[in-house]
């Protein structure tokens, strides 16, 4: 009798959880001021080295590291991901931030959750580095920039993440890049875009004093990370060995370290096309990124979002910043960009406006 009673209670609890989950997905709990902190996708962890699922019920984890003066950039990146997601997939932003920035994230992201219909979650973590050479790790290249190298231990209960630099703007739904996890073979644990498509402008092939991936290196501004496989690979131990061996030759911090790692272990890296990490280097000298379906993610590295050296990059950044959730995307985003870009321009990048807009216009056209 006691066993039957426990079975009935278990079934009732399960049904209540399902009901709460459905109500939360439909926004009913949010309208009541309530929040269910645990979803089924959070409970499930894949310990079988399988790629993360990409069905509409699976949470997509977007991880970012924010230190110093990168707060506004990071919020713009998050905003662009929400805009182009259109509530298709549940998003979860995993923010590793300095203590003085956490209160701002809580206030602003909670405000976005409460005042628009775009559903997402977020969680905050503090930066954490190995005790050995802790100060060197913190300051390597840019403040906290190498934190992603220690995600396997910092995010110990998370299977996979899409890491992005703060100077990123999404021009496509996040799930399109997330789905590339399914293209990983059984040994690959990370996905990156090439550093360069144009040999004459390449950094690694001309200047690097350490090994690097492939012919022209890899850029780490957007990175798919299967953390379960990285833990199995003893990734952080390998990183420490690389740093000890090459620290005097490293220029670009974690990007150089990852290039060395994948030079030595090329079978561990999946390479996705340049349109998923599109930078001024792809257009400032010549058009070197084919992007047959348009540019998916723009990366305003080296401060290009905040200067007029390549105006189209700062224009997209400003358009996202000024967009208000819930307003018409055509008049308040696409038309603004079209009307603001001055053509003809001395910038070759500006002349590629159609390529910048192609994918995103098609996406909203079919919504």
Q: Each residue of 238-279: pLDDT tens digit?
A: 999 999 999 999 999 999 999 999 999 999 999 999 999 999
**Interval 130-148: pLDDT, tens:** 887 777 787 776 778 899 9
* Cβ-based neighbours of 55, under 8 Å, separated by 6 or more: none
Where do the domains of the chain lie, and which CATH numbers do they carry?
60-275 (3.90.550.10), 277-365 (no CATH)
DSSP class per residue in 67-88: -TT-HHHHHHHHHHHHHHHTTS
**Interval 105-116: pLDDT, tens:** 999 999 999 877
**Alpha helical stretches, state H, 116-178:** 134-139, 151-154, 174-178
Whether pLDDT at 171 is above 80: yes
**Among the listed ranges 12-16, 31-35, 336-340, which one has the minimum average pLDDT value?**
31-35
Q: Decide: 201 and 285 in contact? Cβ < 8 Å.
A: yes
Model pLDDT, residue 59: 92
Q: Which pairing describes strands 297-299 and 160-164: parallel, antiparallel, or unpaired?
A: unpaired
Segment (H or E) for 329: helix 329-329
Q: Is the pTM of this model over 0.75?
A: yes
Q: Is the dihedral of CA 260, 264, 269, 274 positive or negative?
A: positive
Question: What is the Cα–Cα distance from 140 to 203, expressed in whole angstroms?
Answer: 19
Whether pLDDT at 14 is above 80: no
Q: Which two tokens stand for residue 240?
A: 């420490």
* Residue 218, CA distances (Å) to 77, 109, 116, 221 in order: 21, 32, 37, 9
* Residue 248, CA distances (Å) to 214, 253, 314 in order: 22, 11, 34
């Amino acid at each position: 009798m006691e066993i039957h009673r426990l079975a009935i209670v278990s079934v009732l609890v399960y049904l209540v959880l399902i009901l709460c989950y459905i109500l939360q997905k439909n926004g009913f709990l949010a309208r009541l001021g309530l929040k269910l902190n645990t979803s089924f996708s959070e409970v499930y962890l894949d310990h079988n080295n399988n790629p993360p699922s990409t069905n509409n019920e699976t949470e997509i984890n977007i991880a970012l590291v924010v230190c110093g003066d990168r707060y506004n950039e990071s919020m713009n990146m998050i905003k662009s991901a929400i805009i182009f997601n259109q509530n298709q997939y549940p998003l979860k932003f995993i923010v590793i931030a300095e203590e003085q920035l956490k209160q701002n994230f809580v206030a602003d992201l909670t405000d976005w959750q409460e005042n628009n219909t775009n559903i997402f979650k977020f969680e905050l973590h503090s930066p954490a580095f190995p005790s050995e050479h802790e100060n060197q790790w913190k300051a390597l290249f840019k403040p906290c920039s190498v934190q992603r190298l220690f995600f396997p231990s910092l995010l110990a209960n998370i299977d996979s993440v899409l890491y992005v630099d703060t100077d990123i703007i999404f021009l496509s739904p996040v799930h399109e890049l997330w789905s590339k996890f399914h293209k990983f073979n059984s040994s690959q644990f990370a996905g990156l875009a090439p550093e360069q498509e144009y040999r004459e402008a390449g950094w690694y092939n001309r200047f690097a004093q350490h090994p690097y991936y492939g012919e022209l290196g890899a850029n780490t501004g957007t990175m798919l990370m299967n953390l379960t496989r990285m833990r199995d690979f003893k990734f952080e131990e390998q990183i420490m060995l690389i740093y000890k061996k090459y620290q005097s030759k490293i220029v670009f911090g974690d990007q150089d370290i990852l290039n060395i790692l994948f030079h030595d272990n090329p079978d561990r890296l999946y390479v996705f096309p340049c349109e998923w990490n599109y930078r001024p280097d792809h257009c400032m000298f010549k058009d070197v990124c084919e992007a047959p379906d348009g540019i998916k993610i723009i990366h305003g590295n080296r401060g290009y979002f905040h200067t007029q050296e390549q105006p189209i990059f700062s224009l997209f950044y400003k358009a996202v910043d000024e967009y208000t959730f819930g307003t018409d995307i055509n008049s308040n985003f696409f038309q603004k960009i079209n009307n603001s870009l001055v053509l003809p321009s001395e910038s070759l990048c500006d002349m590629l406006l159609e390529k910048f807009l192609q994918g995103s216009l098609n996406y909203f056209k079919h919504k």
